[in-house]
Structure 1
């Protein structure tokens, strides 16, 4: 009976250790996949920084048409209708705090469309 109790206690100990390791691994994986390690700042903080220093902000293109089941805006190499809405929403929030900015884009359809919707039609440099 005593041997069974010791064995049972050891098993419980190992199970607890395994569960703790699984939880730590899960949290570590979540942190690794949910962030690129760079600090994230809100628009108000960015606006204060932009008043003091030159600031470069990089945005990725909006939702790609060729990798989505959502309706395409036009060209299959461009963005979706949902992507236009997301880009415009992000642009509105950005412009509310930083109204004066220069806009650059690569020459791919999806980045030009994203920049156009982000900026509400502002002139895009870098094409």
Structure 2
């Protein structure tokens, strides 16, 4: 199983108006609809929310969920040599989630903290 999201740019944002190419989208209560016509415009599901649901609602183990969100998609896309797991020589893209609530607490992109580094006792190289 590979967990993915087709989230649009408004994913993770609050209620409001957002562009989707040439279209205007209104997000209300997490649902994105076209302003003109009201059709559902796309997903606002983020992968941290998918992780939480997989464990707390769907009953997947932590290991199954991590594999479904990282290792499996990387392998299916032919990227397992550079991403999808934490190994020497790989890109070091990761997220840190709270161990009890599974809420997002930090993000590392290519070995550099881009969000939440203050939560960790990080020693930066000289």
TM-score (norm: length of structure 1) = 0.29
Instruction: Choose between structure 1 and 2: higher helix proportion.
Output: 1
Which protein has the bigger strand share? 2
Q: Which one has more relative contact order, counting CA pairs under 8 Å at least 6 apart?
A: 1
TM-score normalised per structure 2:
0.29
Q: Which has the larger radius of gyration?
A: 1
